[in-house]
Chain A
Amino acid sequence: MLTIKDLAVKFPSRFGDVTAIADLDMTIAPGEIHGLVGESGAGKSTVGAAVIGLLSTPGYIANGDLTLGDTDLRSLSAHEAHAIRGARISMIFQDPQTSLNPLMTIENQLVETIQAHSDVNRSAAVKRAVDLLEEIGIKNAATRIKAYPHQFSGGMRQRVVIALAICTDPELIIADEPTTALDVAVQSQVLDLIRRLAKDRQIAFMLITHDIGVIAQVADRVTVMRNGRVMETGETQQVLMRPTHPYTRALMDAVPPLYRRITRFRVPDEAETLTPGTTPDNAAERWLLEGQQHDLTGLTLEDIHVSFPGTRTSLWRKPDPFVALQDINLTIRPGSIMGLVGESGSGKSTLAKAITGLIAPTSGTMILGDRVLPAGRARKRHDPSRQLIQMVFQDPYSSLNSRHRIGDILSEPLWLYGFVNDAAERRALSAAMLELVGMAPDAIDKYPHQFSGGQRQRVAVARALLARPRFLICDEPTSALDVSIQAEILNLLKDLQSVFGLTILFISHNLAVVRQMADDTAVLRNGRIEEIGKTESLFECPQADYTKKLITLTPVMPRTWKV
């Protein structure tokens, strides 16, 4: 039904045209969910934009055929193309927070779209809108339709976006990362809905995503892209389980499996990446080992409560506090990795902030090694825990100061904690540390923006290590990264942990990643610990219902698929 042949998309720039897509062929049949996967910059979204005719200026289609049914999409005038958008091709965007107009009721948004594409009066349009909402699983649609977008939860909002996309009976829907912003439970509902719509209404879906698990769950066929080119295309199960192209194989190797634990990820260019422990004589490694004193430091949290002042609703009454964490009892054994999983808003990052002293718990004690940690502002600037506890943040684009050179960023902990007083020595040690985390030492004179996300995350790890920490907090260290980069960073963290005996609190919303990394795992939900135990037993026979739900709903390759 949708046929793309030899598509090429170019973006003119000051230095000639940049080819975003080249030689792309793809067909999508009615009722087919066609997955489009690739890492960032692969050109997935550009394909979607080219099909719907919304390429961001100054991009243009340089070559190729785009046909929908028997309509040639490229030969359409601007007016005809506009008529087709929404009527025959619709789009679902990533973020339901921003793709609905916050100032219009759901009813008005749906009716507006229906009336724009078919000649019906308002009451008929409203009736159709209500039927649609009911079809996609919104209860009491007749009353809920009067609500504004902010009165719906994230998952409900994404359903409304889907309702908007299907209200004109389109033949093709382009879904650009439709579940990336959603938690697993909601994600699985939305994916079910997409599958049902494809089956019942014979709508063709182009499902653009970076998540292989999502593809494995819903896509009939899949196309793997890289740098604007198709690497491999075919039946989902065949492409994912028996990939023929080396890139697909490498990609699949990097996907962390949920149902088993692997010791290391296979990374194709591992030869280039130096591995700690295998480098014969690294100054930074020697320096770290010599400062280690060979004592492993654990962390114990006892009855931690954290609450924030709530929003004031009355002038006279004190607002009810918002409880972010309660009854947190957690023992992180010295030298082990504790995984902390939970959906967004479960209090994972709040716990990290409490440990680092950025916020003060309302009550409870934190014990690092054999010393009680002062909480919040009581922790002075010179408190030894400032050096012993270090953190690797989620977003490597904001965790390094973009106006400082890598060398300045790395040597900061060295002079701050008074380890090395000589500038030249600090520089040498920083360079050696860069080597230790698998980067070229000449990076020391560059600025963060000259590096990719994965490289920046390596720098962030290096900075944390240069403080000679005993306890490392990794707050979603790979969730902003592509899956192949994620595999490299996870390998690096594992290696460093085994060489230097760090105790790590590893925070992630991704269960599969935690399974690969953690010795013990705690499951957090609404500020309470639902379950805690050895990672293997927790994943193999989860006790709490919530844990079971999380594990079953996480989209992964079905267990039945065998290589």
Chain B
Amino acid sequence: MIAFLKRYEGIWLFAHSPTAIIAGIVALAILIGAVFAPWIALVNPYDLSSFSLFDGLLPPVWQEGANPKFLLGTDDQGRDMISSILYGARLSLVIGIAALTIAAVLGVGLGLAAGYYGGRFDAIVMRIADVQLALPAILTALLIDGIARGILPAAIQQDLRVAVLTLAIALSLWVNFARTARASSFVQMNKEYVQAAIMMGQRPSRVMFVHILPNILGPLLVITTVDLASAILLEATLSFLGIGLPADSPSLGTLIRIGMQFLLSGEWWILWIPTLFLVVLVVSINILGDFLRDVFNPRLR
């Protein structure tokens, strides 16, 4: 009975937390919209032939002069705002998730090893992490961007924009994973099941990944969720500053940067709608992250 309750505690808590449910639904809706963007969206913002300049600067439907075809209006190029946002979110999520995966693999691997071996290896990894933390993410991104520009032939630079951006974000996020994995595995190292495994003569990699890792998944899952929001924001920031993606393949950040030009010219929707969308997406992911943290840490309940 108790075991049953413990097992499904998370689901029960979720069902009784309206904020978590709303955040979950919003995040899920955005995810579905982004994944199925090519089928849902009216136009393909990357395909110049699918939209027309004559539809440019149309306001949302509730304003005068709107075209009911474009629910939230269009930008100066005549691109449907909804379509741009869906494609933008798709790109933002792809970059965010890819960056997060790289950061998680790198960070968890190094953190687990630091926790397992301790001593000098731990000290070296953690000092590198400290240095990484001292560098702002934007600086890291600029650095990688600069290096990429320097060593890659111009022809493939445009194609590699996404990869460079992803790598830059991953490099500034791995520290969180490494620190969490290290701290949690230190706790597990003192548990007798780990000592039993070491004593029996099991391979270090097996002790780390088969024995310790499943027991520290809780805090890592929380970090993953919260960092997904950070990754999306970071991508938006970099794109907004122009280091990220170009205007012809807009992510959410690029859309906001483009919208900035219309801030004072009456076409408010071009800036405000992508911005609100980004806020809603990040806030709902953060709420889910907070909820997960509460589930895994009963003391905060």
Contact = CB atoms under 8 A, between A and B. Distances in A.
Contacts of A3: none
A395 B193 CA distance: 10
Nearest to B215: A403
Contacts of B192: 393-395, 398-399
12 contacts: A15-B1, A357-B199, A358-B199, A381-B202, A382-B201, A390-B200, A395-B192, A412-B200, A413-B200, A447-B3, A449-B3, A450-B3
Contacts of A399: 191-193, 196
A415 B171 CA distance: 39
B17 to A, nearest CB: 15
A385 to B, nearest CB: 9
Contact of A416 (B3, B6, B200): B200
Please tell me the size bucket of the interface on B.
20 to 34
A449 B6 contact: yes
A386 interface: yes
A389 B203 CA distance: 17
A400 interface: yes
**9 pairs of A and B residues whose beta carbons are closest in the complex:** A386-B201, A403-B214, A399-B192, A393-B192, A381-B201, A398-B191, A401-B193, A398-B192, A356-B199
A555 B192 CA distance: 30
Interface string B209-244: 001001100000000000000000000000000000
Nearest to B204: A381
A555 to B, nearest CB: 28
Contacts of B52: none
Interface string B180-214: 00000000000111011111111100000001001
A400 B201 contact: no
B268 interface: no
Nearest to B196: A399
Nearest to B199: A356
Task: State the main secondary structure of chain A at its contact with B.
Answer: loop
B12 interface: yes
A101 interface: no
Interface in A520-547: none
Given A403-B215, A449-B3, A449-B6, A416 B201 contact: yes
Contacts of A416: 200-202
B299 to A, nearest CB: 14
Contact of B196 (A14, A393, A450): A393
A463 B200 CA distance: 11
Interface string A406-449: 00000011001000000000000000000000000000000101
Contacts of B193: 398-402
Nearest to B203: A381
Contacts of B211: 401, 404
Given A14-B12, A449-B3, A391 B215 contact: no
A407 B277 CA distance: 49
Given A399-B192, A402-B215, A383 B201 contact: yes
B195 A393 contact: yes
Contacts of B201: 380-383, 386-387, 416
A396 to B, nearest CB: 9
A14 B15 CA distance: 13
B121 to A, nearest CB: 14
Contacts of A20: none
A463 B201 CA distance: 14
A358 B200 contact: no
Nearest to A475: B192
